[in-house]
């Protein structure tokens, strides 16, 4: 199983949304009006046998076209370092020379594998005409792969996904398949909280932790999402460990998780965390399903 985050990067109108729709076949695309900061936003999730890809966009990476000459903002660069693969889209027809320069200048600072997708090849009658452009990019910087595609017709998109598959790390499904269309963001949020518990308490509470999201309330007028989450443990002693002296440990879990959640959702988050004891939840298949608990983590 391979899984991870793929950033779709490119100038406006290059075909990012079209590619996403083509990849997801309109199955799952979480888009919606949401206040943007400069951080990652989940665009959609592709789940296939053996692979789960979480596509994110990175607002602020590349500004309006007239400024396109220059811009990979530092915060956005930091965001890019959080993903596993960067997919850089360029237009096969426009053949910007500047884009090749930008690729070298800015993307070379990103320490992640970058795939160049040359889009809109359906508009190029003779495919050999693409070769000089591809060469230009190849010389500009060492891409992991260069794939000509048409996001519109789907041509080459499978090849692109193959390249992505090869570059993704081995990992679990972040989102259970049957919940994908519903509330993928909730599952990711739960996952992030669980990750913090493991991170902070590696030795003390191995695997006896599940996280559920009880409340996920979007407050657009405040540019904020209010989240209530429960950390489920099996024993009272584990509850004590998670809460910590004077609640310090739970506070730290909340602080770290909130930072990550804000980065992912792209807005402010209020995070309420509670710890609940439920004996032997791991032995109860229904509880396991409910908690999205997966084997091998």
Question: Should residue 18 be labelled a site residue for Mg ion when binding is judged by CB under 5 A?
Answer: no
Sheet of 224-233, strands arranged across: 210-219, 224-233, 268-277
Q: How far apart are the first and last CA of the chain?
A: 13
| Integer CA distances (angstroms), 148 to 55, 141, 156, 179, in order | 19, 17, 6, 33
Distance of alpha carbon 147 from alpha carbon 121, whole angstroms: 10
CB of 239 to ligand GDP, least distance (A): 46
CB of 103 to Mg ion, least distance (A): 20
| Integer CA distances (angstroms), 225 to 13, 23, 186, 192, in order | 30, 28, 11, 16
**Nearer of residues 119 and 249 to ligand GDP, judged by Cβ:** 119
Distance of alpha carbon 26 from alpha carbon 68, whole angstroms: 30
Question: Should residue 151 be labelled a site residue for ligand GDP when binding is judged by CB under 6 A?
Answer: yes
CB of 50 to Mg ion, least distance (A): 28
CB of 110 to ligand GDP, least distance (A): 19
B/e letters for 261-292, b = 16+ CB within 10 Å, e = fewer, are bbbbbbbbbebebebeeeeebbeeeebeeebb
**Nearer of residues 15 and 254 to ligand GDP, judged by Cβ:** 15
- Please answer whether residues 8 and 84 qualify as being in contact, where contact means their C-beta atoms are separated by less than 8 angstroms: no
**Nearer of residues 152 and 161 to ligand GDP, judged by Cβ:** 152
**Nearer of residues 13 and 280 to ligand GDP, judged by Cβ:** 13
Question: Should residue 58 be labelled a site residue for ligand GDP when binding is judged by CB under 6 A?
Answer: no
Question: Should residue 17 be labelled a site residue for ligand GDP when binding is judged by CB under 6 A?
Answer: yes
30 binds, among Mg ion, ligand GDP, none (CB under 5 to 8 A by kind): none
Question: Should residue 238 be labelled a site residue for ligand GDP when binding is judged by CB under 6 A?
Answer: no
Question: Should residue 150 be labelled a site residue for ligand GDP when binding is judged by CB under 6 A?
Answer: yes
Q: Which positions touch ligand GDP (CB under 6 A)? A: 10, 12-18, 119-120, 122-123, 150-152
Contact residues for Mg ion (CB under 5 A)? 16-17
């Amino acid at each position: 199983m391979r899984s991870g985050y793929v950033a779709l990067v490119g100038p406006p109108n290059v075909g990012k949304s079209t590619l996403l729709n083509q990849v997801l076949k309109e199955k799952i695309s979480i888009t919606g009006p949401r206040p943007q900061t400069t951080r990652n936003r989940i665009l959609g999730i592709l789940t296939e046998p053996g692979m789960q890809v979480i596509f994110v966009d990175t607002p602020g990476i590349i500004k309006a076209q007239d400024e396109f000459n220059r811009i990979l903002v530092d915060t956005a660069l930091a965001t890019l370092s959080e993903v596993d693969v960067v997919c850089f889209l360029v237009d096969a027809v426009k053949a910007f020379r500047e884009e090749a320069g930008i690729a070298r200048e800015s993307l070379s600072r990103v320490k992640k594998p970058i795939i160049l997708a040359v889009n809109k090849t359906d508009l190029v009658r003779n495919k050999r005409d693409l070769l000089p452009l591809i060469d230009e990019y190849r010389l500009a910087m060492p891409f992991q792969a260069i794939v000509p595609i048409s996001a519109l017709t789907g041509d080459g998109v499978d090849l692109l996904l193959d390249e992505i598959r090869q570059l993704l790390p081995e990992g679990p499904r972040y989102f259970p398949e049957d919940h994908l269309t519903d509330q993928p963001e909730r599952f990711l949020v739960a996952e992030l909280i669980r990750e913090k518990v493991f991170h902070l308490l590696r030795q003390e509470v191995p695997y006896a932790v599940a996280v559920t999201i009880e409340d996920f309330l979007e407050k657009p007028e405040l540019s904020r999402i209010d989240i209530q989450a429960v950390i489920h443990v099996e024993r009272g002693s584990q509850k004590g460990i998670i809460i910590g002296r004077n609640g310090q440990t739970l506070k730290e879990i909340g602080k770290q998780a909130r930072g990550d959640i804000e980065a992912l959702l792209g807005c402010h988050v209020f995070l309420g965390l509670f710890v609940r004891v439920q004996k032997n939840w791991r032995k109860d298949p229904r509880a396991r399903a409910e908690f999205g608990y997966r084997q091998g983590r």
